[in-house]
Structure 1
Amino acid sequence: MAERERPRRLLRLVQEGRLDLLRDELHPEDIPEARSRRWGRLGDTLLHHAARMGHRDVLEFLVRELGMDVEVANGDYKRPIHEAASMGHGECVSFLLERGASVDCLKKADWTPLMMACTRKNLEVISSLVEHGANPLLRNKDGWNCFHIASREGHPEVLRYLLDVSPGIWDTESTIRRTPLHTAAMHGCSRVVELLLERCHYRPDSRDKCGVTPFMDAIQNGHLDIARMLLEKHQEGHGHTILTLLSLGADLQAQDGKSRSALHAAVAGQQAEATRILLRAGLRDTPDGSGTLAQQLARKPEVIQVFQESQVTT
């Protein structure tokens, strides 16, 4: 084998998890170069690649027998534990922690291994990091903690765990004052929104720096089931929100997957003011996928009165 091909072969063997061939391939004189060699634009080491691919045995070989440093960082300051956590490789995370890897080390943009683990639904990895002292309240450069990240990914199981180990973790805002509820509503994570409304205490119509509320995020992105949940939970202030949406040119004619409109959402939430504004804005009461008109969902006298005043008939 040509000398210039040897590093590529070593990398391939690590990526494929071929520990037997890796042992045979590495001669004593190759070890110093293998230990310090970097690959790619960011300068990943063999340890980064082993952790990313989830090869615990290769990882252990590189650390124990080649003496590679578990805290080695690439050009983005990402360490092997970031790689293992982000890919959900529990055995690799456990080994690196046993060998003294820093549990709250920061990569570029101030992401911790726990934050990266929360991009996946792997409670084994998340709980392992927390049990080894990871701080769930740390924030990245955008002001997001791991709870915010899990809200974006739509993982209610992860959020329940985080609330159990850190009950106040929900009370957080990004640098532009967006809450996890904003994020979940914008991304259409209905199960997460339901959980957040049940277990957390977000202010009705909390606004980010641009004045956007979770309800506005839901409407603007066509998540009317979430808009309905927010209307039902947060009883006040949505009239002003809808007026703001109209002034911004939001498409209130949008329908969800069951052909329900914003009017269905407002009436299901028994929101008289919101219903009145939508009807005055010209939103027609059309049947949803089940043939139900929004008017048929009216229960409160004041909502029924709105339809009577607007002369809307079934």
Structure 2
Amino acid sequence: MTEGETQKLLPRLIQEGKFALFKEEIENVADLGRNVRQKHFGRSGDTLLHYAARHGHLKILGYLVETLAMDIELFNNDYKRPLHEAASMGHRDCLLYLLDRGAAVDCLKKADWTPLMMACTRRNLQVIQDLLQHGANPLLKNKDGWNCFHVASREGDPLVIQYLLDVSPNIWNTESKIKRTPLHTAAMHGCLEVVKVLLERCSYEPDSRDKCGVTPFMDAIQSGNLDIAQLLLDKHMEGHAGTLKTLLSLGANLNSKDGKNRTALHMACAGQHAACTQVLLQAGLKDSPDSTGTHAQQLAKKSDLLQLFTDISISA
């Protein structure tokens, strides 16, 4: 077998978990330092450690580290370490092995993502717990200003959210570089149970705005998440008065506009969300022009949406 064929074979044997065959092939490699210990494979530049950690083969991972003396901090073209791979794929045994061997728990890959952030993308509570118990910093931010709580809020596991709040009670008080909160993120991605936890345990302002003037309520409406929009409306009303007099506060909230002078009604119509549009119109939101002179009704294309405006006009 040629050297080139051997180089293709080694990653494949690791992916398939064929430890015995892998060891046999290693014995045929002439220069371990150049062809194994420091070798980067494919476009991503992964090392054999990356393959072992990504596919969860602990025995092979241990062999590479202990017998072949590979450096556990080797990184690929995206600056991913093997720990990132184990955390991302939820391979707890590989993750704990690397941490016990001294892997840097807060190592950064491209765009400043930590292994903890990667673990939060998979909603794996045990792996998240392992990383935090080994000293991971939950408050670190990536290049976009997201910490792990932002990531977890997008993924939608309320147990992960509850745990992160337990270990770091102020972790919710964060904004991205464009001033988006975890509540914005959860509302946009339809994570109802997470929104419930955030409203119960965190002190978000009902009308917090990002740099474009968008509130979590607007995000929910634009994404068609009517249940979340209603929940945010209820929370807004409760926080402003707590009586039927809150109809005035409701009007103020509904008429919030973004940087382009668009209301939630514009966003609901642009997304062709009939149910959301109906709630807004019945709540008293009046159609108005945005900065280009466009009314929300002009964005409505579906017949059921257009009928809502007709019905409102007739009842008026």
Match of 1:207 in 2: 209
2:69 match: secondary structure? coil
State TM-score, norm by structure 2.
Answer: 0.81
- Farther off after superposition, 162-171 or 231-240: 231-240
Match of 1:276 in 2: 284
Match of 2:76 in 1: 74
User: Cα distance 1:124–1:43, how it changes in 2: closer, same or farther (>3 A)?
Assistant: same
Whole-angstrom CA distance in 1 between matches of 2:137 and 2:281: 40
User: Cα distance 1:138–1:101, how it changes in 2: closer, same or farther (>3 A)?
Assistant: same
Whole-angstrom CA distance in 2 between matches of 1:8 and 1:252: 53
* Deviation of 1:261 (Å): 3.5
What's the C-alpha RMSD, in Å, of the aligned pairs? 2.7
2:10 match: secondary structure? helix
Q: One-letter code of the match for 1:154?
A: G
- Farther off after superposition, 3-12 or 147-156: 3-12
Could you give the per-residue CA deviations for residues 250-302 of structure 1, whole angstroms, max 9, x where no partner exists? Answer: 2359787xx744544797xxxxxxx222599999xxxxxxxxxxxxxxxxxxx
Match of 1:57 in 2: 59
- In structure 2, stretches of 5+ residues that fail to align are 241-248, 289-294, 298-312
Whole-angstrom CA distance in 1 between matches of 2:102 and 2:270: 56
Q: One-letter code of the match for 2:17?
A: G
Whole-angstrom CA distance in 1 between matches of 2:8 and 2:296: 65
User: Cα distance 1:68–1:262, how it changes in 2: closer, same or farther (>3 A)?
Assistant: same
- Farther off after superposition, 238-247 or 130-139: 238-247
Match of 1:12 in 2: 12
Match of 1:166 in 2: 168
2:23 match: secondary structure? helix
- In structure 1, stretches of 5+ residues that fail to align are 268-274, 284-309
Q: One-letter code of the match for 1:101?
A: A
State TM-score, norm by structure 1.
Answer: 0.82
User: Cα distance 1:77–1:254, how it changes in 2: closer, same or farther (>3 A)?
Assistant: closer
Whole-angstrom CA distance in 2 between matches of 1:119 and 1:6: 34
Could you give the per-residue CA deviations for residues 10-57 of structure 1, whole angstroms, max 9, x where no partner exists? Answer: 111111111111111211634222111111223110001111111111
Number of residue pairs matched by the alignment: 280
Match of 1:44 in 2: 46
Q: One-letter code of the match for 2:23?
A: R
Identical amino acids, percent of aligned pairs:
58
Q: One-letter code of the match for 1:212?
A: V
User: Cα distance 1:4–1:227, how it changes in 2: closer, same or farther (>3 A)?
Assistant: same
Contact 2:254 2:280 in 1 (8 A): no
Whole-angstrom CA distance in 2 between matches of 1:67 and 1:261: 60
Whole-angstrom CA distance in 1 between matches of 2:118 and 2:40: 23
Contact 2:153 2:194 in 1 (8 A): yes
Whole-angstrom CA distance in 1 between matches of 2:261 and 2:176: 26
Could you give the per-residue CA deviations for residues 135-194 of structure 1, whole angstroms, max 9, x where no partner exists? Answer: 001110101000000001111111111011111101100000000000111111111111
